[in-house]
Amino acid sequence: MKFILGLIAVLMLSACATVPVYSPPLGADEEIRSLMTKYDAASVGVGIIRDGELVWTGYYGEQSPGVPVGPATMFNTASVNKAITTETALRLASKGVIDLDEPISAYYIHPDLKDDPRHNLLTPRILLTHQAGFKNWPYSYDDGKLAFIDEPGNGAYNYAGIGFRIFAKFLEAKLEKPFPEIVREQVFDPIGMTHSTNSHDIAKTLEGIVLPVDETGAFLTDHEFETDYWSAADDLFVSVEDYAAFLIATMNNDAVNDAMSYERVRVQTSMAENEIWECAVDGVDPCPAPYGHGIGWFIFGYEDGIVVHHGGNDASEGAIGYFEPATKNGGVIFVNSPKGVQLWPEIADIVDPDQEIQDVFHDLIRKFFPEEN
């Protein structure tokens, strides 16, 4: 009898050990589907990480007409790609292949900057912390040509995708291989990210890519990918599970040494007084502190520690991936919607209500979409 009772106790403990550490709130599926209708979303994928493990995923809607979203679905996650480029840089710096503070001009000079000697000041660190002194892209300028609007490295925060493009061109020249190949060797293959690409040429050969939608949420069935195009700053096609694996590898500092992991989470460019990103005291309580950029990642600080994250927003995309180094908790929310930047924070409120980063984004939404609030 004692043996039987002991066996039952062991079995009960084993059963308890396998109980998921996370369950979505009651009614979460219905709430998410209701929000999809509100924001004209065709596709949503969600993943929750607890204690360094992906413990729950949720898939909603279709990736294309008649094809449901699932674990293999690859979302276009826009600027979430910057986090992939960042970890490529930190892995290479950990191996001594590059130095975050080396001048890039020995290998690459953007043609629009060749007559401005300030191009000699550009380094990987300056480019990846948004201190290069650029507007976002050359098309952001009236004449369509890239130019400095601030002194490189002076601490001013100017979010610029072109800085990541310039960094990638530097890597191509220094390592003498295409940037997508570098990323695959350094990040995708070691982590096992088999449903991920930053290349349009690869994306268009794969099944499972979400079709973008128009302003009403209808699929653009005649959409065609650009030929011979890759990006270091946007257009990352990735599944929820692949990106969750990437976040877990990042928070575990896989292939990144202590010095580089510190550079990732050390705020090097403050956003506290930035005219776009400043935290409105009457809108967010508390405002994050610190509040800015490490190498490549946004860093928001709270009473219990920092949250490391990067989001993406484009015509048909809204995405976020985040993690807490101290707890190894995190999340992934990908949406295919013309109002994706408005939708993902509301999904976060449902699936991860104790996470605070969405408060800042709710505030930004109130600021930039006042007519909808």
pTM: 0.93
Digitized pLDDT (tens) for each residue of the chain, 373 residues in all: 444 444 444 344 444 445 558 999 999 999 999 999 999 999 999 999 999 999 999 999 999 999 999 999 999 999 999 999 999 999 999 999 999 999 999 999 999 999 999 999 999 999 999 999 999 999 999 999 999 999 999 999 999 999 999 999 999 999 999 999 999 999 999 999 999 999 999 998 888 999 999 999 999 999 998 889 999 999 999 999 999 999 999 999 999 999 999 999 999 999 988 888 888 756 677 789 999 999 999 999 999 999 999 999 999 999 999 999 999 999 999 999 999 999 999 999 999 999 999 999 999 898 888 776 5
Reduced to 3 states (helix: H, G, I; strand: E, B; else coil), residue 247 is helix
Average of per-residue pLDDT values in the chain: 93
* Helices marked H in 222-331: 240-251, 258-265
For the stretch 3-16, pLDDT in tens is 444 444 434 444 44
Could you give phi then psi for residue 295, rounded to 5 degrees? -70, 105
Domain 24-372: top CATH class:
alpha beta
